[in-house]
């Protein structure tokens, strides 16, 4: 048997083992504290078991965890969040273990022993207890909504009822991998402009607090008449130096107030609506939401989830409260007996491409396949939009920096130039 897995440190282990069945391989790996990821029949003959055990420690250095020391410390004390990477690994491992015929409780016990995140370890321990008390896996997962989404739980529920639990975990791992890629694309789109704006703000603060006061004292000693640009800069600098504690308090208070507001139901709805109308980035946020809608709806329809329940699941997975409110209106329309295409068209949220795919899918019964293609199309569009955003925002940021340099030049160096001219004259 050829196998691959991860040891207790998260490093990749691969090799072959002489065994009569996959269950024997799983048991042997667990005895060595290795969590299997994939097990398959080897093509060539196998060596002795002792030799194979020596091969199990062929670690892949590239698979080592890249967590920072702070993240490792948070994981150790049990306050680190369960990342999407850990959910992907968990889903893939459960797929392999269930496919190999291992009972759920034994599979979860093996994963519990290999997980390094203390918080996730406690969750797995709770899942084991729930299963031993007679609950099914979907219900057990639903006890932890902060980790396992409604989509995750619903697909597991369908997989348990249809006898395709391994396939459900495989689809979840695939979906989470695509979701992770989408998040990276959004971060890539916002990282550069945020970094530049923060750098500009820091530079302005340093100049205002430390540089301009030096020039101001020099001008005072010379008694020169200052232009209005310089007087304005000095006034701003004097105010910042005198009231900097209040300014900092005001800034942090505004940040806290904004975070508090967007975490309310009304605030989240207003902010998500505003994000879709932002210059340059609004189209990206809309495509991300529509891509999530298409892919999630494709998954729940392909899994056999009823359409009304599926739309309820999709509304919680699109990642935008404004789009989710329209998905809920679609669900209400379907409950009244309207077609999917009509409810989607009335919502006004979806592009002609999505509407056309929904219409054709309803007529042919292949709405899940067509929406999967729509999701792939949006993924490609998002990648293109991210690259285009970087090209479009660079001249804007350069203009902002140029304007600030011009203001500083007029306000600081113009009076120096005038004084120098007067002395030479």
Task: Report all structural domains of the chain as residue ranges with CATH numbers, in order of start.
Answer: 1-64 (no CATH), 66-148 (no CATH), 178-425 (1.20.81.30)
**DSSP structure class, residue 225:** P
For the record, the structure tokens of 172 come out as 């979840």
pLDDT at 271: 92
Cα–Cα distance between 397 and 408 in angstroms, integer?
A: 17
Dihedral Cα 26, 32, 34, 40, nearest 10 deg: -40
CA distances, 312 to each of 116, 141, 178, 215, 278 (Å) = 34, 18, 21, 63, 27
Contact criterion met (CB below 8 Å) for 223 and 419: no
pLDDT at 50: 39
Cα–Cα distance between 358 and 298 in angstroms, integer?
A: 11
Cα–Cα distance between 399 and 370 in angstroms, integer?
A: 44
pLDDT at 192: 74
Give mean pLDDT in consecutive 10-residue pieces for the chain, a chain of 425 residues. Answer: 64 73 64 62 45 35 40 48 86 89 86 84 89 88 86 83 84 85 77 79 82 76 72 84 90 93 91 87 85 85 80 84 89 85 84 84 84 85 79 80 78 69 54
Written as one string, the DSSP assignment of 263-322 is TSHHHHHHHHHHHTTSTTTHHHHHHHHHHHHHHHHHHHHHTT--HHHHHHHHHTTSS-HH
pLDDT at 299: 82
| Residues 6 or more apart whose Cβ sits within 8 Å of residue 257 | none
pLDDT at 261: 93
* Number of C-beta neighbours around residue 391 at 10 A: 8
Contact criterion met (CB below 8 Å) for 169 and 180: no
pLDDT at 54: 36
- Residue 40 bridge partners (DSSP): 2
CA distances, 149 to each of 84, 138, 142, 296, 317 (Å) = 11, 11, 8, 12, 8
Cα–Cα distance between 172 and 150 in angstroms, integer?
A: 12
Cα–Cα distance between 170 and 424 in angstroms, integer?
A: 80
Cα–Cα distance between 218 and 237 in angstroms, integer?
A: 14
- Residue 89 CA neighbour count, 13 Å, CB half: 23
Cα–Cα distance between 124 and 89 in angstroms, integer?
A: 13
Written as one string, the DSSP assignment of 22-34 is HHHHHHHHHHTTE
Cα–Cα distance between 219 and 419 in angstroms, integer?
A: 10
The CA-to-CA distance between both ends of the chain, in Å, stands at 93
């Amino acid at each position: 048997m050829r196998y691959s897995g991860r040891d207790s440190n998260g490093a990749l282990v691969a090799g072959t083992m002489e065994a009569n069945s996959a269950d024997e391989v799983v048991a042997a790996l667990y005895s060595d504290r290795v969590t299997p990821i994939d097990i398959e029949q080897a093509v060539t003959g196998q060596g002795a078991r002792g030799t194979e055990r020596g091969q199990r420690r062929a670690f892949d250095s590239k698979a080592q965890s890249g967590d920072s020391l702070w993240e490792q410390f948070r994981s150790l004390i049990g306050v680190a969040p369960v990342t999407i990477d850990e959910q992907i690994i968990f889903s893939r491992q459960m797929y392999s273990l269930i496919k190999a015929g291992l009972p759920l409780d034994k599979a979860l016990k093996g994963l519990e022993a290999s997980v390094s995140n203390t918080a996730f370890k406690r969750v797995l321990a709770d899942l084991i207890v729930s299963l031993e008390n007679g609950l099914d896996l979907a219900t057990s997962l639903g006890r932890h909504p902060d980790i396992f989404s409604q989509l995750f739980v619903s697909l597991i529920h369908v997989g348990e009822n249809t006898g395709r639990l391994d396939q459900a975990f495989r689809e979840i791992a695939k979906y989470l991998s695509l979701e992770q890629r989408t998040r990276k694309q959004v971060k890539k789109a916002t990282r550069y402009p945020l970094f530049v704006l923060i750098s500009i703000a820091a530079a302005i603060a340093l100049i205002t607090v430390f540089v301009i006061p030096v020039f101001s004292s020099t001008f005072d000693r010379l008694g020169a008449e200052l232009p209005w640009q310089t007087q304005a800069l000095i006034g701003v600098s004097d105010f910042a130096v005198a009231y900097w504690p209040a300014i900092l308090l005001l800034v942090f208070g505004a940040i806290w107030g904004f975070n508090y507001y967007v975490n309310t139901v009304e605030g989240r709805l207003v902010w998500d609506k505003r994000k879709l109308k932002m210059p340059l980035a609004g189209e990206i946020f809309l495509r991300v939401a529509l891509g999530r809608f298409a892919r999630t709806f494709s998954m729940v329809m392909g899994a056999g989830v009823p359409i009304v329940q599926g739309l309820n699941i999709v509304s919680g997975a699109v990642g935008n409260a404004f789009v989710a409110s329209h998905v809920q209106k679609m669900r209400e329309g379907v409950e009244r007996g309207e077609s999917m295409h009509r409810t989607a068209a009335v919502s006004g949220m979806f592009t002609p491409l999505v509407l056309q795919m929904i219409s054709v899918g309803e007529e042919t019964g292949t709405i899940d396949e067509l929406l999967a293609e729509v999701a792939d199309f949006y993924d490609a569009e998002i990648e293109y939009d991210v690259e285009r955003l970087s090209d479009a925002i660079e001249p804007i940021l350069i203009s902002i920096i140029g304007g600030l340099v011009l203001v500083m030049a007029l306000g600081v160096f113009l009076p120096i130039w005038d004084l120098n001219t007067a002395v030479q004259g």
